């Protein structure tokens, strides 16, 4: 049985700092806390980096955040040669907010791409400067200019992005909510977190455990950098920040 870390980022992705207590140090020097604002690598979104401040002012740099034995166990991986805190010690957590906010904008942009391209998703990876989503389609039939224009319509409309919990039964009754071809949301936990876009989720809703911005306007200017052919029935779309470069 793994430890269950209270994941504060699930209810408020905008928390930049928080207080927490060390509950364990694992055999590899990973730090387990009672609660955290650090997102752990999952669902294509990389885990947070940042810093823990100790009561004496000492600092512990955190190089990565990952899940442990279960998805509810969050492990903070210190950078090399950090002095480790003791079990029971209270810490002040600070995420690298600049990086996390870029990841939230990019992750939200990936949701918008799945609205513009409503096809089964075979993979996704979010990064600060370039994210990708792979779709199971034989021929995109899209140009990067068309997709960019439709993405920017959704950004400019400034639709709200919010979460809602549904039951396994509700999800089973609405199988079209799940867009991932290979990854199914965990069922049997009782509740599934849906990420919704637009009034009454009119633009989109899909199960997701990641961190997102509050409205599509916060995504800011984005464009499709490339549409690549990856196999006979797989197309990879790359999203980048900023305006589309002139040819
Ligand atoms: Zn998401």
Tell me what pLDDT residue 71 has.
87
Tell me the CA–centroid distance for residue 195 and ligand 1, in Å. Answer: 6
Separation CA 61–CA 179 (nearest Å)? 37
Q: How far is the CA of 212 from the centre of ligand 1 (A)?
A: 6
Å from CA of 89 to ligand 1 middle: 33
pLDDT confidence of residue 175:
79
> What is the CA(141)–ligand 1 centre distance, in A?
25
- Taking the centre of ligand 1 as the mean of its atom positions, its distance from the CA of residue 156, in whole angstroms, is 19
Ligand 1 centroid vs 101 CA: distance in angstroms?
A: 13
**34 C-alpha to center of ligand 1: Å?**
24
194 Cα to the center of ligand 1, angstroms: 9
* Cα–Cα distance for residue pair 19/204, rounded to 1 Å: 34
**For every one of its 247 residues, what pLDDT tens digit does the chain have, with 9 covering 90 and above?**
578 999 999 999 999 999 999 999 999 999 999 999 999 999 899 999 999 999 999 999 999 999 998 889 999 999 999 999 999 999 999 999 999 999 999 999 999 999 999 999 999 999 999 999 999 987 767 899 999 999 999 999 999 999 999 888 888 888 777 777 666 665 556 688 999 999 999 999 999 999 999 999 999 999 999 999 988 889 999 999 999 998 7
CA of 140 to the centre of ligand 1 (A): 23
pLDDT of residue 191: 84
């Amino acid at each position: 049985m793994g430890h269950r870390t209270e994941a504060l980022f699930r209810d408020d992705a905008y928390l930049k700092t928080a207080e927490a207590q060390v509950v364990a140090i694992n055999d590899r020097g990973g730090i387990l806390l009672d609660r955290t604002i650090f997102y752990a690598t999952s669902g294509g979104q990389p885990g947070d980096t940042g810093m823990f401040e100790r009561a004496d002012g000492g600092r512990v740099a955190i190089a990565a955040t990952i899940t442990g034995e279960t998805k509810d166990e969050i492990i903070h991986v210190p950078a090399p040669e950090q002095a480790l805190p003791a079990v029971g010690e209270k810490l002040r957590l600070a995420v690298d907010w600049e990086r996390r906010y870029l990841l939230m904008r990019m992750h939200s942009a990936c949701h918008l791409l799945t609205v513009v391209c409503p096809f089964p998703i075979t993979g996704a990876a979010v990064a600060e400067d370039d994210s990708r989503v792979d779709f199971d389609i034989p021929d995109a039939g899209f140009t990067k200019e068309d997709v960019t224009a439709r993405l920017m319509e959704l950004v400019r409309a400034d639709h709200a992005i919010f979460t809602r919990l549904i039951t396994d039964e509700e999800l089973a009754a609405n199988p079209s909510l799940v867009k991932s071809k290979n990854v199914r949301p965990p069922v049997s936990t009782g509740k599934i977190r849906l990420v919704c876009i637009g009034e009454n989720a009119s633009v989109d809703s899909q199960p997701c455990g990641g961190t997102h911005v509050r409205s599509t306007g916060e995504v800011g200017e984005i464009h499709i950098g490339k549409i690549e052919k990856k196999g006979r029935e797989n197309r990879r779309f790359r999203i980048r920040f900023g305006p589309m470069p002139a040819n």
